[in-house]
Structure 1
Amino acid sequence: MADLNITIAGRSYSVAARDGDEAHLRHLESILQKHADTAQRASGGLSAERTLVYLALILADLLDEAERNPPQGVSPVLLDRIADRLEAVAAALEEDAAAA
């Protein structure tokens, strides 16, 4: 387990990450950062908590839109994520087999 510092809307947060998930968390951090300015403006910059609530609402709206209007076909990004997860599962299985 690794501790990772991520920055969202100008504030740093320490989060725990499973080994190998650091790159994925950095990717999620970049998604949050992409919408952070909008969330800060919507919250009036009053507090970090209020900014995070607006950020959550923005992301929930995007998720809702994607669920109501799913893209046609399989996204290359999704395929890459599935491949990464499968590789992580394979590595974990290899570690378990080696430990047994």
Structure 2
Amino acid sequence: MAETNLVIASRHYQIRCRDGEEAHLAHLASLIEDKARVAQQSTPGLTEVRTLLFAALFLADELNELKRDNAGRQARLQLDGDDEPSVQAIEALAGRIEKLRERLAGRADNA
């Protein structure tokens, strides 16, 4: 087990983690630290607990927005059962393209 020192809201925390995870934890701590700094700047005089609470709420809000955006993108990408007319149109176009290819190949043979 490794140990690392994290600084969040100007406080040092000694944390144990798996070997090799120190840099990842430091990165996560910096994200929390950034949000804590925003909370302290926007509302001076917050207690340490309330600063961390607001930092957690800011991060949770960002995460929720990303999840909502991702779900919306996935819903737009999914094909539903109403796409049968599109499938039929594509198949008809593919058939026409194949016929055109055959005609062009026949003309090339006769030339």
User: Structure 2 length normalisation: TM-score?
Assistant: 0.57
C-alpha RMSD of the superposition: 2.1
Kindly indicate whether the alpha-carbon contact (under 8 Å) linking 1:43 and 1:50 is maintained by their aligned counterparts in 2. no
Question: In structure 2, the residue corresponding to 1:6 is in which secondary structure?
Answer: strand
Structure 1 pair 4–45 and aligned structure 2 pair: CA distance change class (3 A):
farther
* Unpaired segments ≥5 residues, structure 2: 74-111
Query: Residue 67 of structure 2 corresponds to which residue in structure 1?
Result: 67
Percent identity between the two aligned chains: 46
> Which structure has the larger Rg?
2
Structure 1 pair 66–18 and aligned structure 2 pair: CA distance change class (3 A):
same
**How many pairs align?**
73
* Unpaired segments ≥5 residues, structure 1: 73-100
CA distance in 2, matches of 1:43, 1:16: 32
User: Structure 1 length normalisation: TM-score?
Assistant: 0.62
CA distance in 2, matches of 1:56, 1:42: 15
